[in-house]
């Protein structure tokens, strides 16, 4: 019988109160893995109530004790990384080594959150007037929640959750309904933590569950990662309901190649960036902008490297690129490619109609590269979220920056060059939140905020680092007067 996933509420595994279910499919072979509840408002009402009840005791526990659970969390993820990575690869499609890399990034966030006793410290000003001192305290908000996308089932909840609970909040994780097994297994393993019931909860579901989170009065802060239209909706609806919201959206990341860029490094890194995780990374390179004669030097080499990528089931050693997440996604990507061709683009490497022997039901698209793409075309403007790279040539660095700055997205942009002056101009003038210089995926370490501008981010404070701590706390300013003569009485 097909397994039906349960929610984890107040330290118990419970069935969803809703009646609908969704199928979770292995994108490499089309096999049904399990069913996940499509969710209900009641699930969230119950979870938020329990999380709120658990909050006073959790926030009163000294931070030095709270982080002992995080140390254990890190050990559990490390000890079980192969099992977790296998589950992730089977439901998400990325290669086993890509799944393992996610665990490393998740753990880095736990490690940073373990510094919370120091990170929660604040400023103190003595004698702002005679005998008067002023300082502030960082206090947790209450119940927090995160809503995750499908493409990083392990890492993304850890951009938020470790910080939220380390700060003294209780928490609800809502995984993507497309990849719900990975976080379910992580929560099963986290039972070994012995966390007080209600501190960490997980609820499955889709829109109804998300809407219930947005409206629930107990939930104070929401972290979202997903596509731009949903991010905008989450931000606007959450704020309307008086919540603190940070919402990371979609992207279309350009990579500028200057004529002086190192050939080997540039070609290898761009191919990894564009086709790793089958292009389903919010920091994936999706547009290469060659400057001047860089087009002649680099285009053929990028095509050759891309064509050599082995596409297949991510569990098979040697496979470098897995399938895209769903059949609908594959159809959408192929349609975008065709529309681009209809708009005048030229195909340089066609990954459509790829046959992966033994995996005829998998959602495979091979590395695809197009040039002569019109900048006002759908192909150029839309986030493709698949293994598709477009190459466009411009005359100067200024032209490249102008093109980048016209985009609705601002997640990341990278430049490949040997010129410090070009790199500096690029860093200074480009309107995006994450910049890479001779780096293909400018993914910030956990001790830096995961930035993002324009329609790639809605909110003020980002995930990870001190931003996460500020997001999941509020400051209480205290001004105290102690007259000296009162002290002298003792």
Catalytic residues: 282
Question: From the list 207, 310, 481, 483, which residue makes contact with ligand NAD (rule: CB under 6 A)?
Answer: 207
Cβ count within 10 A of residue 267: 23
- What beta strand segments (E) does 85-230 contain? 124-129, 132-140, 143-147, 170-174, 200-202, 219-225
Q: Which residues in 374-433 contact ligand NAD (CB under 6 A)?
A: 383, 385, 411
Give the interface segment with ligand NAD, choosing from 128-136, 206-214, 268-276, 355-363 (CB under 6 A): 206-214
The three-class DSSP label of residue 76 is: helix
Question: From the list 89, 109, 151, 181, which residue makes contact with ligand NAD (rule: CB under 6 A)?
Answer: 151
Question: From the list 176, 311, 313, 434, which residue makes contact with ligand NAD (rule: CB under 6 A)?
Answer: 176
Nearer to ligand NAD, 174 or 309 (CB): 174
Rounded least distance, CB 433 to ligand NAD, Å: 9
- Asked if 43 interacts with ligand NAD (CB under 6 A), we say no
The three-class DSSP label of residue 136 is: strand
Cβ count within 10 A of residue 194: 10
- Asked if 225 interacts with ligand NAD (CB under 6 A), we say yes
Estimate the share of the chain in helix, then strand, then coil, as percent rounded to the nearest 5.
40, 25, 35
Q: Which residue is nearest to ligand NAD (CB)?
A: 226
Of the candidates 322, 313, 250, 320, the one whose C-alpha atom is nearest the C-alpha of residue 286 is 250
Rounded least distance, CB 295 to ligand NAD, Å: 27
Give the interface segment with ligand NAD, choosing from 13-21, 110-118, 173-181, 332-340 (CB under 6 A): 173-181
Tokens of 454: 């324009």
Q: Hey, which residues does 79 pair with through a beta bridge? A: none
* DSSP secondary structure of 169-185: -EEEEE--TTSHHHHHH
Nearer to ligand NAD, 147 or 257 (CB): 147
Question: From the list 81, 89, 248, 393, which residue makes contact with ligand NAD (rule: CB under 6 A)?
Answer: 248
Q: Which residues in 313-352 contact ligand NAD (CB under 6 A)?
A: none
Give the interface segment with ligand NAD, choosing from 55-63, 64-72, 196-204, 246-254 (CB under 6 A): 246-254
**How long a stretch of residues is the chain?**
490
Of the candidates 99, 202, 208, the one whose C-alpha atom is nearest the C-alpha of residue 153 is 99
- Asked if 150 interacts with ligand NAD (CB under 6 A), we say yes
Nearer to ligand NAD, 195 or 210 (CB): 210
Rounded least distance, CB 317 to ligand NAD, Å: 26
- Asked if 251 interacts with ligand NAD (CB under 6 A), we say yes
- Asked if 451 interacts with ligand NAD (CB under 6 A), we say no
Question: From the list 250, 314, 323, 449, which residue makes contact with ligand NAD (rule: CB under 6 A)?
Answer: 250
Element of type H or E holding 245: strand 244-248
Tokens of 54: 């658990």
Measured between alpha carbons, how far is 303 from 348 in angstroms, rounded to an integer? 7
- Asked if 216 interacts with ligand NAD (CB under 6 A), we say no
Element of type H or E holding 307: helix 294-307
Nearer to ligand NAD, 174 or 243 (CB): 174
Give the interface segment with ligand NAD, choosing from 12-20, 104-112, 137-145, 202-210 (CB under 6 A): 202-210
Handedness of CA 105, 174, 203, 65 (dihedral sign): positive
Residue 378 half-sphere exposure toward CB, CA atoms < 13 A = 12
Distance separating the N- and C-terminal Cα atoms of the chain: 76
Rounded least distance, CB 463 to ligand NAD, Å: 8
Rounded least distance, CB 378 to ligand NAD, Å: 16
């Amino acid at each position: 019988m097909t397994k039906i996933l349960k929610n984890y509420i107040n330290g118990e595994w419970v069935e969803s109160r809703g009646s609908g279910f969704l199928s979770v499919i292995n994108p490499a072979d089309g096999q049904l893995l399990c069913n996940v509840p499509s969710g209900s408002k009641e699930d969230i009402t119950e979870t938020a109530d329990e999380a709120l009840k658990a909050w006073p005791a959790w926030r009163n526990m000294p931070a030095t004790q709270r982080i002992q659970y995080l140390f254990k969390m890190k050990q559990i993820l490390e000890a079980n990384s192969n099992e977790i990575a296998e589950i992730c690869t089977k439901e998400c499609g990325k290669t086993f080594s890509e799944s393992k890399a996610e665990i490393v990034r998740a753990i880095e966030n736990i490690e940073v959150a373990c510094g919370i006793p120091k990170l929660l410290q604040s400023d103190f000003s003595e004698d702002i007037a005679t005998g008067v001192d002023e300082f502030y305290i960082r206090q947790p908000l209450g119940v927090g929640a995160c809503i995750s996308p499908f493409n990083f089932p392990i890492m993304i909840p850890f951009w938020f959750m470790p910080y939220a609970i380390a700060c003294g909040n209780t928490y609800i994780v809502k995984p993507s309904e497309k990849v719900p097994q990975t976080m379910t297994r992580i929560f099963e393993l986290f039972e070994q933590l012995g966390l007080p019931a209600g501190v960490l909860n997980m609820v499955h579901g889709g829109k109804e569950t998300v809407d219930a989170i947005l409206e629930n009065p107990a939930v104070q802060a929401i972290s979202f990662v997903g596509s731009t239209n949903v991010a905008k909706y989450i931000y606007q609806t959450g704020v309307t309901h008086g919540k603190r919201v940070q919402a990371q959206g979609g992207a279309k990341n350009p990579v500028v190649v200057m004529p002086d860029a190192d050939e080997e490094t540039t070609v290898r890194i761009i191919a990894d960036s564009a086709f790793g995780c089958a292009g389903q990374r919010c920091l994936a390179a999706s547009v290469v902008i060659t400057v001047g004669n860089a087009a002649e030097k680099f285009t053929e080499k990028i095509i050759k490297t891309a064509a050599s990528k082995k596409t297949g089931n991510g569990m098979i050693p040697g496979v470098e690129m897995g399938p895209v997440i769903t059949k609908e996604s594959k159809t959408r990507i192929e349609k975008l490619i065709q529309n681009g061709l209809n708009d005048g683009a030229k195909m340089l490497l066609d990954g459509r109609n790829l046959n992966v022997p033994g995996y005829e039901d998998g959602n495979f698209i091979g590395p695809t590269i197009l040039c002569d793409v019109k900048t006002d075309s759908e192909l150029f403007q839309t986030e493709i979220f698949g293994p598709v790279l477009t190459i466009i040539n411009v005359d100067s660095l200024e032209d490249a920056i102008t093109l980048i700055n016209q985009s609705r997205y601002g997640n990341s942009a990278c430049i490949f060059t040997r010129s410090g002056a070009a790199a500096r101009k690029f860093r200074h003038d480009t309107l995006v939140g994450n910049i890479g210089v001779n780096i293909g995926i400018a993914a910030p370490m956990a001790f830096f905020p995961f930035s993002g501008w324009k329609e790639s981010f809605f909110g003020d404070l980002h995930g990870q680092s001190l931003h996460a701590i500020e997001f999941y706390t509020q400051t209480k300013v205290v001004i105290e007067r102690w007259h000296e003569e009162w002290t002298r009485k003792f």
